[in-house]
Amino acid sequence: MQNIIIEGGKLLNGTINISGAKNSVVALIPIGLLASQKAIIKNVPNISDTKSLLNILKRLNCNYTYQNEELIMETSEIKNNFIPAIESQKLRASYYFMGVLLAKFNYVKMSVPGGCKIGKRPIDLHLKGFKALNADIIEKKDYIIIKSDKLIGNNINLDFPSVGATINLMIAATSAEGTTTINNAACEPEIENIAEFLNNLGADITGAGTKKITIVGPTRYHNGAITTIPDRIEAGTYIILGALIGNNLKIKGIVKDHISSLLLKLKEMRVPFKIHNDEIIISKLSNLSPIDIISQPYPGFPTDLGQPITVLLSQCNGISHYKETIWENRNGHVPYLNKMNADITIKNNTLMITGPKNLIGQEVVSTDLRGGAALILAGLIAQGKTKIKEIEHILRGYEDIVEKLQKVGAKINIVEIE
């Protein structure tokens, strides 16, 4: 077991480099299995979600090498083995093996996915879409079978622009005969990255990144490569950190368009920053204006930055509101921020945050990935020592977070405990 220990209050200066996007790579890795013999994925972040996926690759008899952020997968001898709960429940994104194995073998049997505890996380939209592509679903208590004699293209309307369902259906549809359209598709940048990889492997997908995606199948897969896009949520987390305690903190490797909803909110708060190519330089300002934020599907404000930005809202001069609309319960960080002297109340999934409050170091628990990141930000601005427990949630999605922060002057360490 490990804890993070932080001595807060130190201004941060220097450069933080952004890694490949977790939410892209968790789909790119399963998709690599579709290659006829070899797939290459570059800029693969070394996070524990990547390790969990590599374990599943081994189970499916995929040999690979993973060095210097480059994953080379040998795919000519893949076996359609059962994926047990101990592997599928390490992460929610294991659901992408459903789309991939269905596309490759017309059959998949696996345990249901896991993931952060942020409310109900059904996969009904994925399953409804597979059915529309002529698959049958058998749901048992501990596992699911999805099979088809032949996948056939169809028109699919998503009831909600689910990121995972859009990607899974796009994958499965590449093997379906004829044309599939996914309407009300999610538009997140990761979806474009993933469609590009599928196309590099031989698929015919247009419209990814818009509300209507068209896939013409079936695909004859060949070999292919892709570079993972930069992680806009990691970038956003460090940008928020810069606004909290940066002294010309430079974040390098950003795509400005991917984070524009965050930048607009920072402008509204009057946070000073400068952008040049793929770099942003950002500094702390006292007397920030309070603002209201609502999470929305892309290009709206991302739910995944809701928890980190709560910490910044706690430093604004007055009352701010944050309304979570995507997930049922993403408030695990709130009791701990309040323990650190923040003033946050929750009503109907809306946070009312009264600031500015001087945060004070405490012993806290990371209940989920982004909630844990929020506690790190809080610890870095707090007076005194903060101890964060259950940090495995954080390490699922932030590559070298402790090393990156130490490099810009933070007093932060991982300590091993019994």
Applying CB under 6 A, which residues contact ligand EPZ? Answer: 22-23, 26, 92-93, 116, 120-126, 160, 162-165, 186, 233, 303-304, 326-327, 369-370, 397
CB of 358 to ligand EPZ, least distance (A): 28
Q: Is 376 exposed, middle or buried (0-12, 13-18, 19+ CB in 10 A)?
A: buried
Residue 233 or 344 with smaller CB distance to ligand EPZ: 233
Strand-pairing partners, residue 416, are 2
Q: Is 257 exposed, middle or buried (0-12, 13-18, 19+ CB in 10 A)?
A: exposed
* R_g (Cα) of the chain, nearest Å: 21
CB of 215 to ligand EPZ, least distance (A): 18
Q: Which of 174, 162, 198 is nearest to 102 (CA)?
A: 174
* DSSP states of 343-359: EEEEETTEEEEEE----
Q: The tokens of 183 are what?
A: 């309407």
Residue 233 or 316 with smaller CB distance to ligand EPZ: 233
Task: Give the count of beta carbons closer than 10 Å to the beta carbon of residue 150.
Answer: 12
Q: Under 8 Å CB-to-CB from 29, ≥6 apart: which residues?
A: 41, 44, 50, 53, 54, 57, 71, 73
Q: Please give the residue whose beta carbon sits closest to ligand EPZ in the complex.
A: 164
Residue 120 or 276 with smaller CB distance to ligand EPZ: 120
Residue 123 or 378 with smaller CB distance to ligand EPZ: 123
Residue 123 or 171 with smaller CB distance to ligand EPZ: 123
Residue 327 or 336 with smaller CB distance to ligand EPZ: 327
Task: Give the count of beta carbons closer than 10 Å to the beta carbon of residue 255.
Answer: 16
CB of 112 to ligand EPZ, least distance (A): 12
Residue 92 or 284 with smaller CB distance to ligand EPZ: 92
Residue entry with tokens 């040049």: 276
CB of 217 to ligand EPZ, least distance (A): 22
Q: How close are the terminal C-alpha atoms of the chain, in Å?
A: 7
CB of 384 to ligand EPZ, least distance (A): 28
Instruction: Tell me if residue 116 is catalytic.
Output: yes
Burial pattern 223-233, b for ≥16 Cβ within 10 A else e, equals: ebbbbbbbbbb
Separation of alpha carbons 54 and 59, rounded Å = 9
Strand-pairing partners, residue 177, are 152
Cα-to-chain-centroid distance, residue 120: 17
Instruction: Out of 62, 116, 187, 316, pick the active-site residue.
Output: 116
CB of 191 to ligand EPZ, least distance (A): 10
CB of 128 to ligand EPZ, least distance (A): 8
Residue 127 three-state SS: helix
Active site residues: 116
